[in-house]
Chains A and B, each alone.
Chain A
Amino acid sequence: MRHIISVLMENEPGALSRVVGLFSQRNFNIETLNVAPTDDPTLSRLTLTTFGSDQVVEQITKQLNKLIDVVKLVDLTEGQHIERELMLVKVRASGAQRAEVKRTVDIFRGNIIDMTPSIYTMQIVGESDKLDGFLQALGGMHILEVVRTGVSGIARGEKTLSL
């Protein structure tokens, strides 16, 4: 099963490599990963998605918690949560294709954020499935580049991951 693990950790040099190293060292997989400092500059928030049985994911969270740099973590998929991923896509489009791309972007509530006479660069935000769906919808287009941020997530309601 897919899990989204959100980690609050010290914003220190080496902290990220400890987290990433743990995954290869213990034979856990990482599907996506993103990390950035929070509003408190001494802390970073790292979100990763991974696949594994309950037992494996239990080990992942325990081993992550053991890292001295990790302050707190939560498996967002254990409760109600919101997840988002941002994707930038560059396609070659000319003539009639341009209208079709524009329509597809609108349907997926994305934006065109850059263009040349033959290129559209688009931004789509949503759950990973929606991003996959958009790429499928672009099926016939000549996709030049796809950049995805990986999943970020937050719990619904009053629950927070903070100090």
Chain B
Amino acid sequence: MNTIEVYKVELLSGGEMIARFLKDEGVEYIYGYPGGAALHIYDALHRQSDVKHVLVRHEQAATHMADGYARATGKPGVVLVTSGPGATNTVTGIATAFMDSIPMVVICGQVMSYLIGEDAFQETDMIGVSRPIVKHSFSVKHPSEIPMILKKAFYIASSGRPGPVVVDIPKDMTMPNEKFEYSYPESVSLRSYTPPAKGHSGQIKKAVDLLLAAKRPMIYAGGGVIMGGGSELLTKLAQQLEYPVTNTLMGLGGYPGTDKQFVGMLGMHGSYEANQAMHHSDLILAIGARFDDRVTNDPDKFCPSAKIIHVDIDPASISKTIRADVPIVGPVIQVLEEMLSLIDDAPARSNKEAINSWWKQINEWRQVHGGRYDTTSEKIKPQAAVEACWRATNGDAFVASDVGQHQMFTAQYYKFAKPYRWINSGGLGTMGFGLPAAMGVKMNFPEETVVCVTGEGSIQMNIQELSTCLQYGLPVKILCLNNGYLGMVRQWQDMNYEGRHSNSYLDSLPEFKTLMDAYRHKYVEIRTKDELDAKMEEAFAMKDQLVFINCYVDPEEHVYPMQVPRGSMRDMFLSKTERT
């Protein structure tokens, strides 16, 4: 008897392919907002239940939600918007993800392909608009290309140095009645894109030799360690060597912030000891970090006696601002594993004594500033509020931050013990990032405590998302360090403009209590120091409610230490009256 092999060919429309691909790719949530050019896609989404769409109130928030998810998991966040204003509203979110190397796929509707270039209704050249802020972008020319283009988009977004990828899809690529064969592309290869798989062994050996001989070593680890999944290995390496570790703003949690070898964040608002130790070190192991201007201060005065080993997946990050002596291009995991095995095989080290006196020096530096702030003041100091939050959450919350003084205070005083917990816009510095980012985390980690630390300035930049929180039941905790000023702007005006507070005062704040009532959320107010812990606990005890904690903090407070402009790493203001 003849057997007939039956090949099951699935015919799907472009819109259905998108929904189906996302399911096959393992995407659970996408964040977006419908509109004309995306309606076929939205209809396809409506007719399935595997991929859940989260409706935001503004497309910018959709990108930050996807971004928050990506930062908490390392996986690409997915955004769906329509053409024109829907697409342009994602620009700030895409740029935010780009600057911090966050994997993201943004699917934008586009006008019918035959209308492109005619200034059609809601037409924007999104490929052009987004070009400088994406890792790559695709424009769909035929519906049958959709599965492979999306596969490439996910692959590019999440491999190598991650980043956002835009996929522009004209409406006629998604027509419901035009169906094409669909199969999920299991693999993808691009002749022009091969992310580095392995660091150069000779260079790694050279780096280990330098590490083992160093007298004043520093490990300077950035966000790449977290996104590269290398936190555990980095911790192992540092502890095996017993060398001090500093993290960048993006790298916090990549090494346990509670560990004795951790000397704090470095850079503009880094700790005194981290900046001093960097300046005086003779060997810096920079890993997954990019020597940006907020870290190095004046590059000409940067760490004059240090040799630099720079490990990064992106060759363009190496020797961009600071020349590396030993460049290593490769994935952090592989490079760290190779380093660890070389260290295991190395003979007894001769630098023990030097390391002991290095630690002695660092411990002396720790006494100089030590993250001190005025605890005798009548007013609530923002630092104290962050510490109370740390206590109330057992130091184990996901903390999404907005941008400004509160962000720096959180970076300094919330000791992150684990990677993927600190969610903040480091490179772009996007006010309005915090709340939607926290929502993206909470949606995917419903059992975890998720805090958005914000200010009364930042929170108003995406405050419409309180409505999305209501719709999806997202009980994030919003800790608003309310000082009635744009605090960081005010600090700079105090320091550089003789206290002329040009447009940094918010004198018409909404009644946050009424606002929370309007959205059926909870509200807790903290006005005095003595109620800080009790009120914080009260707020965090309301597990199933969004709680807005309006904490009135001292408007006069500045963030210190602060590096002196155009100085070296060690040149810092330590308070309003002291400098190094």
Q: Which residues of A contact B (CB under 8 A)?
A: 9-10, 13-14, 17-18, 21, 25, 55, 58-59, 62-63, 65-66, 68-71, 163
Contacts and interface: CB of A to CB of B under 8 A. Distances in A.
- Identify the 9 closest CB pairs spanning chains A and B, nearest first: A62-B316, A71-B192, A68-B136, A25-B132, A68-B193, A21-B131, A62-B315, A63-B316, A66-B316
Nearest to B320: A59
Interface string B110-136: 000000000000000001100110011
Contact of A59 (B132, B156, B316): B316
A13 B113 CA distance: 14
A14 B137 contact: yes
A25 B191 CA distance: 25
Contacts of B156: 68
Contacts of A17: 128, 131
B190 interface: yes
Interface string B304-343: 0000000000111001100100000000000000000000
Interface residues of B, number: 19
B315 A13 contact: no
B127 A69 contact: no
Contact of B192 (A13, A25, A59, A68): A68
Given A14-B127, A17-B131, A25-B132, A70 B319 contact: no
Contacts of A68: 135-136, 156, 190, 192-193
A22 to B, nearest CB: 8
Nearest to A18: B131
A21 B191 CA distance: 22
Given A9-B192, A21-B131, A59-B320, 16 more contacts: A14-B139, A18-B131, A25-B132, A55-B319, A55-B323, A59-B316, A65-B315, A65-B316, A66-B314, A66-B316, A68-B136, A68-B156, A68-B192, A68-B193, A70-B192, A163-B191
A163 B191 CA distance: 9
B495 to A, nearest CB: 29
Contact of A13 (B132, B135, B139): B139
A13 B168 CA distance: 13
B84 to A, nearest CB: 19
18 contacts: A9-B192, A13-B139, A14-B139, A17-B128, A18-B131, A21-B131, A55-B323, A58-B319, A62-B315, A63-B316, A65-B316, A66-B314, A66-B315, A68-B135, A68-B136, A68-B156, A69-B192, A71-B191
Nearest to A9: B192
A25 B319 CA distance: 19
Contacts of A21: 131-132
Contacts of B139: 13-14
Contacts of A70: 192
Contacts of A62: 315-316
